[in-house]
Structure 1
Amino acid sequence: MPSALTDYPRPNLAVDLVVLTIPEPAGSRHLELGLVALRRPDGRAVLPGRFVHERQTIRETVIELMAEKLSLRPRRSLRVQMIDVYDDPSRDERGWVVSVAHVTSLLTEHLARLPQETTEVLPLHGRADRGRRITPEPLAYDHDEMVTTAVRRARRRYERSPDPLGLLRAPYTLSQLRHVHEAVLDEPLKRDTFNRRMLPYLEAELDSRGEPVLTSETVGRPAQLYRLRRASVRDAEAGPFPLPRSPRA
C-alpha cells in the first residue's frame, strides 16, 4: 500500500527576495547599487522573506511579501527571477526551512513608499565572487550568499544589454543609462564603447510629430532620449567580451 505524503517529514517552504535599486536620482553622476533590507529587532539585517502558505504559488507569495513587508503593490508586469534554492537543513535556527530565493528591482522613485521604520537601503560594492560578501555588514541566515549570487548574475547581464533589470525608467539618455550600468558593475565604463554596444538595442523617443525628443536637464547640448526597442526585450547576445572599463578617478 503506498504511503501518504503526510507520512514523510516536510520542511517549511519560504521565499526570500533580493530587491535591487539605485538610491540616487537618475541625473546624478555617481550612482551606487543598493539592496533593500529589513532590520530585525535584534539589529541584524535580513532580506524580505515570507513562508509559502498552503495552496499558494511562489509568485503569489512574492506579491504578498512585497505588500506586507515593503508596502508595495507590484504591477502585473513585475519582473521577478529565481536565483536558486537554498536547502541546507541548518540554514535557519528556527527549524527546517527551504528557501526559494528571487531577485527583482525597485525604481528610485518608489523608495519613498517603503516603511521607513523597518527598511533601509544598503550599498553593494566589491567583487561578487562565490563566498564573498558585498554588503557593508553580514546579513542573517545565508542571505549574503543570495545577494552575491543575484548581483553576480545581474552583472553578467549588464555587460550585454541595456538595463535588463529595469532599474531606470525610460526614456533616458545614454549617459543616464551608462551611470546605472556603472553602478551595477561597480566600475567606470568607457563612454564611446558603451554607446556602441547599447545603441543597436535602443530606439529614439519620438514626440507626437515623430520628432526625436531631447532633454533639457543636462548641462551643455540637449541629449537624445531613448528606450529599449520592442524587439529587444530579451538580453542581447553580445558575446563573452566585457565592456571596456575606464580608469577610476
Structure 2
Amino acid sequence: MTLPGPGDQPALPGRFVRERETIESTVAAILESKLGYRHERSLDLHPLGVYDAPDRDPRGWTMSVAHATALPRGAAEQLSSASKLIPVAGPAVRDRRVTAEPLAYDHDEMVTTAVRRMRRRYEGRPDPDGLLTAPFSLRQLREAHEAVLHAGLQRDTFARRMRERLIHARAEDGTAILSSAAVGRPARLFVPGKGDGLEPGGLPRA
C-alpha cells in the first residue's frame, strides 16, 4: 500500500515517532490519518530493519525503522482514495524489486524484505498473519497461501498438512459448521489451532 511520494512516485506511508508514542501506536495513527483505515484489533507488527544510508532521502539525513503488517481481506475497500495498491510478484531475493513499479527512496528494499519474510511464515503455518476471517474452508486457506507464495500448491497435500493444525469450527450446540456454498457440497469450516510449524521444506507446489 502506497501514497504519492516525491514527483508523485509511490512511497510507503510513514511519519516520525512522536514523544511518548510506541511503534504500534504510530503505525495505527498512520493507518488512520494517512490511509483512512481504523484497525479493530492490536497490530501484529513484523520488524524489517533500520534503514540509515546517509543518502537515502534527498530531503535530508533521516533513518527509518521499518515494520510490516498484514491487513485482513477486504481492508483495501476502506482505504483512502489517495492510496494505491502496488502488486508484488516474483522471487523476493536481496537486491531485486518485487513491486510492479519502482517506489521512492529505499522502499523497494523494505517491500522485498517484507514479502520474503511473509512468504517464509506462510510456508510454515496456516494463515499466520490473519488474512482470513475465521471460520474458513480449506479452499479459502489454500487460495490465501497461494496468493502470498505466488505459486500453486498441491491441493490434497496442503489439506492434509493443514488439517493437523486446524480445529473444526462448531456451533454452540457442538454441530459442525459448514459453508453455505450455492454450488456443490457444503465444505467443513475451520478455525486456527495451536501447534508447531510444518515440517522443513515448505509446502509442495502444484
Note the C-alpha offset of 1:218: 5.7
Distance 2:182 2:114 in 1: 32
Q: Given residue 197 of structure 1, which amino acid in structure 2 is its aligned partner? A: R
Note the C-alpha offset of 1:75: 2.8
Q: Choose 1 or 2 for highest CA Rg.
A: 1
Counterpart contact for 2:47–2:68, Cα < 8 Å: yes
Alignment correspondent of 1:184: 148
Alignment correspondent of 1:127: 91
Q: TM-score, normalised by structure 2?
A: 0.94
Alignment correspondent of 2:186: 222
Alignment of 1:77 with 2:37, yes or no, is no
Distance 2:41 2:152 in 1: 34
Aligned residues: 206
Structure 2 gaps, min length 5: none
Q: Given residue 217 of structure 1, which amino acid in structure 2 is its aligned partner? A: A
Distance 2:35 2:29 in 1: 10
Note the C-alpha offset of 1:41: 6.4
Distance 2:93 2:137 in 1: 31
Give matches, 1:107-186, under 5 Å.
107-116=72-81, 118-186=82-150
Distance 1:239 1:214 in 2: 29
Alignment of 1:245 with 2:205, yes or no, is yes
Larger fraction in strand = 1
Alignment correspondent of 1:93: 58
Name the structure, 1 or 2, with higher relative contact order (CA <8 Å, separation 6+). Answer: 1
Note the C-alpha offset of 1:125: 0.7
Alignment correspondent of 2:174: 210
Counterpart contact for 2:52–2:63, Cα < 8 Å: yes
Q: Secondary structure at the match of 2:157?
A: helix
Alignment of 1:60 with 2:3, yes or no, is no
Distance 1:194 1:157 in 2: 15
Q: Secondary structure at the match of 1:94?
A: coil
Distance 2:179 2:197 in 1: 30
Q: 2:159 aligns with which of 195, 198, 205?
A: 195
Q: Secondary structure at the match of 2:85?
A: strand
Deviates more, 1:127-136 or 1:36-45: 36-45
Distance 1:168 1:110 in 2: 11
Distance 2:171 2:20 in 1: 47
Q: Given residue 43 of structure 1, which amino acid in structure 2 is its aligned partner? A: D
Q: Given residue 221 of structure 1, which amino acid in structure 2 is its aligned partner? A: R
Q: Given residue 91 of structure 1, which amino acid in structure 2 is its aligned partner? A: R
Q: 1:49 aligns with which of 4, 7, 14?
A: 14
Distance 2:25 2:172 in 1: 39
Compared CA separation, residues 178 and 218, structure 1 to 2 (3 A) = farther
Distance 1:218 1:128 in 2: 38
Note the C-alpha offset of 1:54: 2.7
Distance 1:39 1:218 in 2: 42
Q: Given residue 77 of structure 1, which amino acid in structure 2 is its aligned partner? A: S
Q: TM-score, normalised by structure 1?
A: 0.79
Distance 2:6 2:50 in 1: 26
